[in-house]
Structure 1
């Protein structure tokens, strides 16, 4: 492979003080053709066969490298640098680099990459997305392409879904990187700009996706602020703003949990904003009162979009009841007041405490629905956040004006090269190829799966569901199994915890209230008789190791208490058990009044359908709605690209 093919052609690079790729937009027909072609190509074995041949070559180099001393191993890694810089990711150089990393891992970590991990690493380096089953060791897999790209001189970012995983993986892999002469660091939330600059100077940087994009946006803002100085040369742009830019460039990205980052969060923009002048609490209080006074026939709730819409009668009612002669001119403008009332309806009917948000120290904190964690620093737009603050009686913050905005859909297309991995990607192969130019390859498992699926149970309501879940968890724990119960919200996890406590069943709860205890709770979750109740915090990147005697008793038993909008997220939770050939089992215990069924199934279907039909119907409807929303967000962002500009150039 030529250097230009490996690192991105100069003609494709964006005008910037550091390396990044210029964006390209495929038209609708091209995207459709790419998606259709990829859906077929991903099912063929050709990619797996090529990866398997490379993995076999790496393994064959093992005995020769095992004879080298520590100093000789490090010298061999140093010797690869100029060749990689000159020739890029040429296959013989990749084989040698992978073999060195595999040997270093065996010595420093006590784990040598097995064949399927080598295949996964090669796919990522190739710029593909590797679907690897949960438990196959994706952390160790990510180190392979990261090492090769770093030895080739590219800034390397290993991107995951939260700070905890970024810090954990950096520390786990540090001995391996250092054995090859590479430095590693992790980005965490509270670091200062100077600390972040030092972190990004490392050869390999582990970071959460949102932290990375915000740092990029801050760099773009800094460039805009320095435009006049930059007009006389780049020194002003690089040297301004407390030490200059933070990132070294967008060279190579290894995206862990790629379906979460690139699909589930694709339409959520990352925004840097500044406070506007206060609108005053009166505006939001009046809006909530007007919304609460509307007849249900005057508006409709759109659960799939989590939005409310006024109908003609509702717009007429709002116009008639809006205050007159106030200093706040919004009430005299029909479009503006109607938009505010629709936001107020959403705040009243669609956003609930301990589900979409938590009240922490007198502030509204958003809960990320995909990770189950508090979304640090994130606020809702267009007055929704302030409406919820007034609804909950907490201190009012000011609305914020957008200074810079970027979605993951646009950001990750700017890397010179990017690859990824996930336990659940195959269903979305067409979208990954059409939007991100990421072909998908399914990597086989290292050992055959021993996971057992128990029949699903559909209960009439939540109360019956929690009772059945408690009974099933108690039975499994009494048999010496470890039990993980997955819930969709903080409120649901605490409702189940109350039922378990009433029955005298010892348990631990892992949700956004207890994120500081995450490591300790997860470490104990595999013990015999242990019942752990968790939100999606336990759904990704979490290894639950079985305690003594648990495997003999049947392993970890996973209980789903509510299906998610995407079957992929269900699979992630199920995958916490029966990993790498361990025994394990799972079952779903759900209710007809679960949120997914209420939002996407008509009442007559909820009343009579079985669990399999309800699940398929609702998840298919949710996936269609979410895919349409992602396409709409991409189209809107493309239209707005030239409107939000820094020194004449859009972010």
Structure 2
């Protein structure tokens, strides 16, 4: 159960009742949340924390000569000599600074990469439990290394969390040598691992994994706790049994570094994580087919209302009457008014709101949900309430069993349970108030190592989709002829394929990276900065990837990025632009979008019609700002409602045990 942290969020956080370290859920009120939003927004924009971090980084710089001339054994011995002080949390900041200087030297020797002063500033902020904003291309992976290493030397199980298995494995492979230099073990969690392999990976000093794997493994542990007894009982078992055979996978929530934190904490936080089992019912396929058949004869405006902005469908009185009339000759759930109406509304959602190539793809005879923020498929995820099965029927696929919920939790509740939480992102300051309110994370903006040389060329608004793709192809051809590599960003699989067709009509070779084509992802991304390359990608190339420039590309102007559709959050647009002009390299960006795009028609339909009909100066730019502001406000409301619902469910179901 949650425990209060004190009036206005003051006072020490309390430990939870799990057998391993984690915090109890905090309790706050409206005043607390209002204050935290304002304080978080203000402190992220004032430079005081940044100044302090710069002073500490200079002290670490001054220690560098002490370790530069000693051999590897002496460097390891110096780190081990600090461990008692780090473990006991004694000595204030001094042993931490010494440890950071040692890890920096080891990084230089093992990887050939030495953290810049700004990266050390970021690492210190992570170690202290803050969220850092670093511009894209500033080396967040290398920045997290000292924080993770020193935390592991301090005895904390460290979780380095990123958005997918590929990035988790890549980062672990890149940094493993430094951890092993200090005798620390490294584990990597992959989605295909069995329970025994997962337990071994979690027993490592530092574990790299995706946010989905982490949270679902936590839920599985909580289900095991419910079945196996109380936390006290499991703690007693841990003292009397072989520690190599732990009944739980995780060793607690001691310290986490979350990469792409805005994606995990915000974009993916609109949907709760639900651990479910499958219950087979052969009658369901016939039920879903009946619902689809009925949904296809209902007319928008007369029988149902479609709210595009909230992605909701509501039956009108006329529609309810038609459903009731059709249900009179059917059996089972059709005799229950609320059940049949919800079933038909799900069928209408499947028909009008969920489309192949956008929200999902069909692959290997299965529906694979496409994450709109990363562009990747989520094979183990499914929609609830029968929607997933209705879409399977719509696509003519075998119907999977109905899902029964075993446990659920939101990202907001889960990550707040870490004893020490930190995060890295390229776009975080605009969300700093929400980060403090929801996760207790203060935000620090880290300066760039070199001056940014990226230049935005233009933003063009086209009246139609076909005109947009024609202009995109022409712009790409022009940059291609000048020797610049081109990266074209799209929001959906379907859009990426339309862009590729437009380029092919001009005789241009193009590499496509989307949810259907990910096998050669690393190779495609690695080549995207080579002269003459044109790459079309969904958001799959928008985060965590580093595009290195080929020979002669800097002289030609660097990588040229074309954004073809504005996202519902301007942060994600910035992520795409950030593929260009990294680490002081030259680069250019351009936006070529259509007024038929979903962002405009869904969140600002009236202004969109006005802009299409007239040529008001600045009207299109105003349209973009208004539509994105409305989209972000709607998503923020959804996240708050999800958190409130989570707490309400916990109170309602407390008599039967926690919902997790």
Q: Quick check: 1:62–1:99 contact (8 Å CA) kept in 2?
A: yes
Q: 1:599 to 1:82 in 2, by over 3 A?
A: same
Please, which runs of 5 or more residues in structure 2 have no aligned partner?
A: 1-9
Structure 2: distance between partners of 1:628 and 1:284: 31
* Secondary structure, counterpart of 2:584 in structure 1: coil
Equivalenced residue count is 642
Structure 1: distance between partners of 2:653 and 2:250: 21
| 2:5 match | none
| 1:4 match | none
**Which has the higher mean CA deviation after the structures are superposed, 65-74 or 312-321?**
312-321
Structure 2: distance between partners of 1:325 and 1:11: 56
Structure 2: distance between partners of 1:239 and 1:296: 63
Q: Quick check: 2:272–2:642 contact (8 Å CA) kept in 1?
A: no
Q: Quick check: 1:526–1:546 contact (8 Å CA) kept in 2?
A: yes
Q: Quick check: 2:280–2:400 contact (8 Å CA) kept in 1?
A: no
**Which has the higher mean CA deviation after the structures are superposed, 297-306 or 567-576?**
297-306
Q: CA deviation digits over 1:85-114, x for unaligned, max 9?
A: 112683111111110111011111111111
Q: 1:244 to 1:29 in 2, by over 3 A?
A: same
TM-score after normalising by structure 1: 0.95
Structure 2: distance between partners of 1:262 and 1:356: 21
Q: 1:240 to 1:119 in 2, by over 3 A?
A: closer
Instruction: Give yes or no for the alignment of 1:285 onto 2:289.
Output: yes
Q: Quick check: 1:221–1:646 contact (8 Å CA) kept in 2?
A: no
| 1:123 match | 125
Q: Write out aligned runs for 1:212-291 (5 A).
A: 212-227=214-229, 234-235=236-237, 244-278=247-281, 279-291=283-295
| 2:335 match | 332
Q: 1:38 to 1:592 in 2, by over 3 A?
A: same
Q: Quick check: 1:404–1:644 contact (8 Å CA) kept in 2?
A: no
Q: Write out aligned runs for 1:173-572 (5 A).
A: 173-227=175-229, 234-235=236-237, 244-278=247-281, 279-297=283-301, 298-326=303-331, 328=332, 330-572=333-575
Q: CA deviation digits over 1:379-432, x for unaligned, max 9?
A: 000010011011111111111000011111111001000011100000011100
Structure 2: distance between partners of 1:478 and 1:434: 49
Structure 1: distance between partners of 2:220 and 2:285: 31
Q: Write out aligned runs for 1:546-625 (5 A).
A: 546-603=549-606, 604-607=609-612, 608=614, 610-625=619-634
Q: Quick check: 1:254–1:419 contact (8 Å CA) kept in 2?
A: yes
* Secondary structure, counterpart of 2:129 in structure 1: coil
Q: Write out aligned runs for 1:47-58 (5 A).
A: 47-58=49-60
Q: CA deviation digits over 1:537-588, x for unaligned, max 9?
A: 1000110000000011000000000000000000000000000100001000
Q: 1:185 to 1:200 in 2, by over 3 A?
A: same
Shift of 1:276: 2.3
Structure 1: distance between partners of 2:146 and 2:327: 62
Shift of 1:474: 1.0
Q: Quick check: 1:277–1:398 contact (8 Å CA) kept in 2?
A: yes
TM-score after normalising by structure 2: 0.94
Q: Quick check: 2:258–2:424 contact (8 Å CA) kept in 1?
A: yes
Q: Quick check: 1:88–1:152 contact (8 Å CA) kept in 2?
A: no
| 1:149 match | 151
* Secondary structure, counterpart of 2:103 in structure 1: helix
Instruction: Give yes or no for the alignment of 1:36 onto 2:38.
Output: yes
Q: Quick check: 2:106–2:181 contact (8 Å CA) kept in 1?
A: yes
**Which has the higher mean CA deviation after the structures are superposed, 91-100 or 594-603?**
594-603
Structure 1: distance between partners of 2:90 and 2:623: 50
Q: Quick check: 1:600–1:622 contact (8 Å CA) kept in 2?
A: yes
* Secondary structure, counterpart of 1:111 in structure 2: coil
Given candidates 59, 62, 65, the residue that maps to 1:63 is: 65
Cα RMSD after superposing both structures: 2.1
Q: Quick check: 1:488–1:564 contact (8 Å CA) kept in 2?
A: yes
**Which has the higher mean CA deviation after the structures are superposed, 313-322 or 375-384?**
313-322
Q: CA deviation digits over 1:150-193, x for unaligned, max 9?
A: 01100100111011110000110111112222221211111111
| 1:628 match | 637
| 1:5 match | none
* Secondary structure, counterpart of 1:174 in structure 2: helix
Q: 1:198 to 1:283 in 2, by over 3 A?
A: same
* Secondary structure, counterpart of 2:84 in structure 1: helix
Shift of 1:605: 3.4
| 2:7 match | none
Q: Quick check: 1:230–1:236 contact (8 Å CA) kept in 2?
A: no
Q: Quick check: 1:226–1:236 contact (8 Å CA) kept in 2?
A: no
* Secondary structure, counterpart of 2:152 in structure 1: helix
Shift of 1:242: 7.9
Given candidates 165, 168, 175, the residue that maps to 1:166 is: 168
Q: 1:151 to 1:230 in 2, by over 3 A?
A: closer
* Secondary structure, counterpart of 1:629 in structure 2: helix
Instruction: Give yes or no for the alignment of 1:640 onto 2:649.
Output: yes
Shift of 1:306: 2.0
Structure 2: distance between partners of 1:293 and 1:360: 29
Structure 1: distance between partners of 2:192 and 2:246: 18
**Which has the higher mean CA deviation after the structures are superposed, 387-396 or 230-239?**
230-239
Structure 1: distance between partners of 2:30 and 2:393: 43
Q: CA deviation digits over 1:582-602, x for unaligned, max 9?
A: 000100000111111111112
* Secondary structure, counterpart of 1:176 in structure 2: helix
Structure 2: distance between partners of 1:232 and 1:411: 21
